[in-house]
Amino acid sequence: MVEQLTLGRRLFVSANYFVLALLSILCLVPLIHVLAVSFSSSGAATAGLVKLWPVEFTTSSYEFVLAKPAFLTSIGVTLQRVALGLTINMVLTILVAYPLSKEVRKFKFRSIYVWFFVITMLFQGGLIPLYMTVNYTGIMDTIWALVLPGAVPVFNVVLLLNFFRGLPKELEEAAFIDGAGHWTTLWRIMVPLSAPALATITLFAAVGHWNAWFDGLIFMDSPDHYPLQSYLQTVVINRDLSLVSSTDMKSLAEVNDRTAKAAQIFMGALPILLVYPFLQRFFMKGIVLGSVKE
C-alpha cells in the first residue's frame, strides 16, 4: 500500500526540492560563467560582455597553453607526481593510522606518538627550514622534492585512525583467534572495511597533489620540471615572458588574464571532476553496518 502524504508533508518535500534546486543553480552559474569566459574573445571578456554564453567564440586561451611542448611536459610531471605521491601518502597513512588507533593498554605511549604527529598541524618550521632540508637531502629539482615533504598527511592520518577506532573490535579479535597477525588483520580486514574513509583521503591527497603549485616554484630549478599548476601560474597568470618563445607572442596577444585564468580553472579541475563521480558513492554510506551479527 502506498503511503498517502499529508498536505504538510508534501509542502515540506516541495520546499526541500526548491531549496536544493536553487542551491544547485547558485553553484553551477559561476562555473558556467567561467566556462563561457574561457571560450570568449579577449575583447569581449575585457569589456564584460560575457554572461552565461561565449561571446565571439574562440579557443585561443586553450590553444595558447595546449600548443606548447612545455605544457605537455608539465602534465607528465603532474601525473607522475599524483601517481607517486598518492601511493606514498596512502601507504604511509594506513601504516601510521593503524597502530595509533589502538588503545593505550595495547599500544603503550600511544598518546605521545599521536601528539608527536598532531603538533605538526599546529606548528610548522617555516619555509626556510623546509627549503634547507630539501636542499641538504639532495632531492632539489627532482620529483622527490614534490612528494617526500608531504609524505605523511597528518590530517588524513587523524581521519583514518578515528575510522579504524570506530570499526567493531569483534572483527579484529576474531581474526586474532583464527591466528592472524597485525599485518594480516590490517590488510585483509581493516583496509577492506575502511573503503569509505580510504576513498575520502584518496580524493584529498589526489586533489592536493594536482592543485599544488608553490612547491614546484621553490623546489624546481628548471621550468622543464614544473608540474602543471606551477607552469600555469608562471606562464599564464604571472605572464613571465622569459618562458614564452617568440613564436608564441602572436597567441599571447590574443589572450588576456580573464580568459587565460578561466581556461586554467577548467584544465586544472577537469581531471578531479572526472574522478569524483566514481568515489562519490563511498561518501554516502559506510559498508561496515551489520558486519557484526548477534
More confident residue, 61 or 53: 53
Instruction: Quote the percentage of the chain above a pLDDT of 90.
Output: 26
CA–CA gap between residue 234 and residue 58 (Å, rounded):
23
Contact between residue 146 and residue 215 where contact means Cβ atoms under 8 Å apart: yes
Q: What is the pTM of this model?
A: 0.77
pLDDT digits (tens, 9 = 90+) for 67-119: 778 878 888 999 999 999 999 999 999 999 999 998 888 888 888 888 888 88
Q: What CATH class has 69-244?
A: mainly alpha
Q: Kindly state the DSSP code that residue 235 receives in the 8-state scheme.
A: I
Instruction: Return the domain boundaries, the chain.
Output: 7-60, 69-244
pLDDT digits (tens, 9 = 90+) for 141-174: 999 999 999 999 998 998 898 889 888 888 888 8
CA–CA gap between residue 275 and residue 263 (Å, rounded):
19
Where are the alpha helices (H) located in the chain, listed in sequence order?
A: 7-38, 42-46, 60-66, 69-100, 110-122, 127-136, 144-147, 154-166, 169-177, 182-185, 191-193, 195-211, 214-219, 228-232, 249-253, 257-284
